[in-house]
Every structure is written in C-alpha cells, then in structure tokens.
C-alpha cells in the first residue's frame, strides 16, 4: 500500500518542490509589460543612424567619430563581447586620461542586484581610483534601500507622493532619469529630504549639490536649504521641461532641503558629483525587468543628457524575468531591443552595455541546481545585444556557469536565496565588470596606435576633479587613419 501511494504521488508532484511563482510586489507595469510581451511578442523598430562625423581632440590624439552604421562587430555570437560598440565611451575615457576632456559619466540601470548601491559603488570606486572623480552622483528623493546604503546617508519625510515606472504607465508628469517622479503631498506637514557624505572612498562629501525638477504652473515653489549651518531660501524657477538649481558651491558634508508651496511641481532628484573624472550613477529598482525604461519621455531624457552627458549606459537585468514559466525568451529579445533603440534616442552620445542574468539555483529533487531558464535567458540577452549594436558581458559564464551560484553561496559571496550577491560578492562582480571594460579600452588604445602615455596620477586626478564638463562626443569611433 505504501509503495502504491508513493508511486501515485510521485507522478503528480511538481518537478520543483519549491514554488517559483513571481512574488507580488505591486510592480503593475513590470508585470503587465512582460505579460503583454509574452502574449503578443514585440517588434524592435530599428532607427536609421543620422549622426554626423566629428572629432574629439587635436593632433595625434584626434579621434574620429563616425555613424554607428559604419561600425560592425565581426565576433562569433557564442563569444560576443561587442566592445567595438563601446568605442565612443572609450574615446571619452581616452580624452580624460590624456587630460583633454572633463568628465566621463556612466548610468547603471539595474534591479535588486544593484539595490543599496551594491556592485555600482565598487565600480564607481574602481573608476574614480584610476581616472579621478569624486562624489556619489545622482540620488533620487526616496529609496527602498536608503538605510542600507554605504555610499550616501539618505533620509526623507514620509509625505512625498512617489510615482514609479514600475507601477504607473502614464504619470501626471514624466518620470525622471531614475524612473520616478515625486510630489509634495500636502502643505501642512513639511516635506524634506537630507543627505550626508557616505563611508566609501571619494564619497565622503557631497559635491556641487544640484536639485533637478520639472515643469509646472506653480510659480510659488521654493526650497529651504540648510548646509554648513547656513540656511538659505531659494525659489524654484520653472523655465523648462527640466530645471536645475545649484544648492551650494563646492563640497559640503551634509545638506537638508525642505520644500515649501511646491505642490504640483515634479521633483526628480539630486546630483552630487565632482566636475571632472568618472561618475557612476546607480538607478536600481527592485522587481524591474528592464521593460519600463520604454516609458521614458524622449524630450525630457535628452534634456537630462544635455546636463549629465552620459557616455555609457549599463543595463543589468534578468532576475525578474526568470519566473514566468517559459523557456522561450524571443519576446524579451524583441522588447529589450526596442528599449535599447529608445534609450539611444533618449541619450544621444551614450553607448550601451548589456550585463546578462547571473546564475540562479533552485531546488530540484532535493538538490540545488541551476534554474533551467537561466541559459535561454542569457542567450536572449546576448541576441538583443548583438542586434542592437551594444556591448555584452556574460555574467553567468564569468561567475562560473552551471552550478556556480551554489559555489558562491558556499564561499560566502551570495545570499542563501541563491539569487542575490552579498557585499563580498558584489565587490567581485564589480571587479569583473571593470576588468572587462578595461580590456576593451586597452584594445581600443592598441587600435589607435599605442597605449596612453602615463601621467602623474596626483596631478591628473586633481585636474580631472577640477575640470569642467567637456563637449559631448557623438556615437561610435573609427580607427585613426595615417
């Protein structure tokens, strides 16, 4: 009888003993966009490249910028890295290293893998340590991980109204560059936000504090700024779709901003970055598949680009795409291909780097194994990187491939959810990403005819930190001709 019951139940048990249904997070847009993409598929409309050739620098250091259509990778798809599609980023880095440019800026978009500035803070530290630059960069008004973040101390009142591209498709005002827009909820209780320098190298101070906000018919808005024991009242002038207000000169240890009469004014976030060197902004959103980036308003993002001047945009997604019961990710390839094309319109002059999903383990027959959806998803991510002319970093392979997440957990580099890295593992991942980009940069310099002449590091870092933002380069770099 026992044997009979065993055989009956064995035939009816699910393949996996632990449910992998997506946890309800309230991310309405993410869920709806993915379900729509799975059901209908997607079409990535490729736009014609109209970028005009131009140059950066002079003499032997002159770099020719050509249309993207003139650059094509000849790599095998299985080993595709696409570093040739990051040559505008490398050209800007080269100009900075030769002390001919001002700043190189990176926008790092991710999901919970980068929550709390994990991975990104270490990548920022690596770049600023080698090429100069200070500051934590762009920080939103509110953050789910504010209390756990080490790179900035972030506090805020609980009476802001936040609209995120994870749960709203059509906000009353467009989303800011971080994917949110904030409003002062009422006029009785003060709405405030405060920041202090963090605990990490080059991030212990707040540099050039600047507020970004949007358009409104409200002309009465103002902010009360408290910093260095001084209190200043500043008016929120509404001049454009995107407005900015510098709140203090140079660097400060902490700052508190209180909003007054600011109802209906969209508040976007604060920038704390040095004038030169490398800056890396973290735009993480728990539960994000990457598809909500399609909701960015092009004209607003182009104004952001005019101010922040990104040279590289990193897209690090995948963990939230594994739980939808399919091994066919052609829908994701099409939809994310369209997202990349949209981002190229939103952020002219910026190259795109796709970072694949990491290994993820699930319990099957009592044993932790790589989820069978991981490899199909990684292949789909590589495919849209190739088709979109973007760089690609295969994180799954680089961390060890099949079964590697189990090893990372055993080595104390990942959490026991067998999905997320901890601080130790995040540092290792940042090192891997930095190493891959440095390899691409080295190859770029070889094609230019040799490596960069070493400069006095102290002088170059100081000069980078004090310099102003240089002119943006257009896309894609052609090898230097004789």
Higher per-residue pLDDT: 364 or 396: 396
The confidence score (pLDDT) of residue 244 equals: 97
**By the 8 A CB rule, do 120 and 110 touch?**
yes
Q: Is the pLDDT of residue 18 over 50?
A: no
User: Which of the listed ranges 4-8, 45-49, 260-264 does the model predict with the highest average pLDDT?
Assistant: 260-264
The confidence score (pLDDT) of residue 480 equals: 33
The pLDDT-based confidence of 363 (bands split at 50, 70, 90) is confident
Q: Is the pLDDT of residue 233 over 70?
A: yes
**CA 388/CA 220 separation, integer angstroms:** 45
Closest alpha carbon to 136 in 84, 203, 183, 181 = 203
The confidence score (pLDDT) of residue 245 equals: 97
Q: Give the strand order in the sheet containing 103-110.
A: 277-284, 103-110, 310-316, 351-355, 391-393
Q: Is the pLDDT of residue 47 over 60?
A: no
pTM reported for the whole predicted model? 0.83
* CA distances (Å), origin 443, targets 20, 72, 79, 446, 450: 42, 15, 16, 5, 9
Q: 420: helix, coil or strand?
A: coil
The pLDDT-based confidence of 52 (bands split at 50, 70, 90) is very low
Average pLDDT score over residue span 31-60: 53
Upper half-sphere CA count for residue 39 (Cβ side, 13 Å): 6
- CB burial string 73-88: b at 16+ within 10 A, e below: beeeeeebbbbbbbbb
The confidence score (pLDDT) of residue 26 equals: 60
The confidence score (pLDDT) of residue 31 equals: 60
**CA 338/CA 328 separation, integer angstroms:** 18
The confidence score (pLDDT) of residue 343 equals: 98
Mean pLDDT for all residues in the chain: 83
Q: What is the pLDDT of residues 147-203, one digit of tens each?
A: 878 899 999 999 999 999 999 999 989 999 999 999 998 667 899 999 999 988 899
* CA distances (Å), origin 163, targets 25, 182, 288: 15, 6, 15
**CA 341/CA 44 separation, integer angstroms:** 8
Upper half-sphere CA count for residue 160 (Cβ side, 13 Å): 24
User: Where would I find the beta strands (DSSP E) of 390-450?
Assistant: 391-393
**CA 437/CA 312 separation, integer angstroms:** 11
The pLDDT-based confidence of 30 (bands split at 50, 70, 90) is low
Token look-up 């207000």 returns 245
* CA distances (Å), origin 264, targets 182, 187, 259, 269: 9, 11, 12, 15
Higher per-residue pLDDT: 13 or 17: 13
**Pair of tokens at residue 273:** 């970055």
The confidence score (pLDDT) of residue 46 equals: 36
**CA 264/CA 60 separation, integer angstroms:** 52
Sign of CA dihedral 307, 122, 114, 140: negative
Higher per-residue pLDDT: 412 or 54: 412
**CA 355/CA 353 separation, integer angstroms:** 7
Name every residue whose Cβ is closer than 8 Å to that of residue 223 and which is 6 or more positions away in sequence: 211, 233, 234, 236, 245, 247, 257, 258, 259, 260, 262
Q: What is the dihedral of CA 159, 163, 168, 170, to 10 degrees?
A: 120
The confidence score (pLDDT) of residue 33 equals: 78
Q: How distant is the alpha carbon of residue 110 from its chain centre?
A: 5
**CA 220/CA 107 separation, integer angstroms:** 33
**CA 373/CA 324 separation, integer angstroms:** 10
Q: What is the pLDDT of residues 414-458, one digit of tens each?
A: 999 999 999 999 999 999 999 999 999 999 999 877 544 444 334
Q: Is the pLDDT of residue 67 over 50?
A: no
Higher per-residue pLDDT: 287 or 76: 287
User: Where would I find the beta strands (DSSP E) of 228-350?
Assistant: 230-235, 242-246, 251-252, 254-260, 267-272, 277-284, 310-316
* CA distances (Å), origin 289, targets 140, 231, 401, 423, 469: 20, 42, 22, 22, 32
The confidence score (pLDDT) of residue 457 equals: 36
């Amino acid at each position: 009888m026992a044997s009979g019951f065993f055989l009956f139940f064995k035939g009816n048990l699910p393949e996996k003993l632990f449910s992998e249904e997506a946890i309800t997070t309230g991310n309405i847009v993410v869920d709806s966009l993915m379900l729509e993409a799975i059901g209908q598929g997607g079409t990535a409309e490729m736009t014609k490249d109209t970028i005009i050739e131009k140059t950066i620098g002079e003499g032997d250091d002159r770099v020719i910028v050509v249309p993207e259509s003139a650059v094509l990778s000849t790599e095998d798809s299985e080993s595709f890295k696409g570093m040739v599609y990051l040559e505008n980023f490398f050209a800007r880095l080269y100009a900075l290293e030769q002390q001919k440019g001002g700043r190189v800026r990176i926008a790092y978009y991710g999901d919970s893998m980068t929550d709390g500035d994990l991975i990104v803070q270490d990548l920022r530290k690596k770049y600023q340590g080698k090429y100069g630059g200070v500051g934590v960069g762009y920080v939103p008004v509110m953050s789910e991980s504010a209390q756990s973040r080490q790179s900035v101390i972030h506090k805020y009142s609980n009476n802001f109204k936040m609209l995120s591209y994870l749960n709203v498709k059509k906000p009353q005002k467009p989303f800011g560059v971080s994917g949110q827009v904030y409003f002062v909820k009422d006029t009785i209780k003060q709405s405030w936000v405060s920041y202090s320098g963090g605990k990490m190298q080059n991030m212990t101070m707040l540099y050039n504090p600047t507020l970004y906000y949007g358009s409104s018919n409200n002309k009465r808005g103002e902010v009360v700024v408290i910093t260095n024991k001084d209190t200043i009242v500043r008016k929120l002038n509404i001049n454009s779709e995107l407005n900015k207000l510098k709140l203090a000169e140079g660097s400060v240890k902490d700052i508190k901003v209180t909003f007054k009469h600011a109802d209906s004014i969209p508040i976007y976030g604060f920038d704390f970055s040095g004038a030169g060197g490398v800056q890396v902004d973290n735009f993480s959103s728990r539960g994000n598949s990457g598809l909500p980036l399609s909701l960015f308003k092009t004209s607003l993002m182009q104004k952001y680009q005019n101010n922040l001047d990104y040279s590289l945009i990193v897209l690090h997604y995948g963990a939230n795409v594994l739980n939808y019961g399919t091994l066919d990710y052609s829908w994701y390839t099409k939809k994310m291909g369209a997202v990349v094309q949209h981002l190229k319109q939103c952020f002219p002059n910026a190259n795109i780097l796709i970072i694949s999903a990491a290994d993820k383990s699930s319990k099957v027959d009592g044993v932790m194994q790589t989820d069978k959806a991981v490899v199909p998803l990684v292949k789909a991510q590589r495919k849209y990187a190739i088709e979109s002319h973007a760089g690609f970093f295969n994180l799954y392979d680089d961390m060890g491939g099949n079964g590697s997440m189990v090893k990372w957990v055993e080595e104390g580099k990942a959490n026991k959810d067998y999905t997320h890295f901890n601080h130790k593992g995040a540092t290792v991942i940042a090192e891997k990403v930095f190493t891959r980009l440095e390899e691409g940069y080295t190859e770029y310099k070889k094609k230019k005819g040799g490596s960069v002449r070493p400069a006095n590091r102290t002088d170059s870092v100081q000069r980078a930190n004090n310099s102003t933002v240089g002119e943006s380069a257009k896309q894609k770099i052609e090898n230097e001709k004789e």
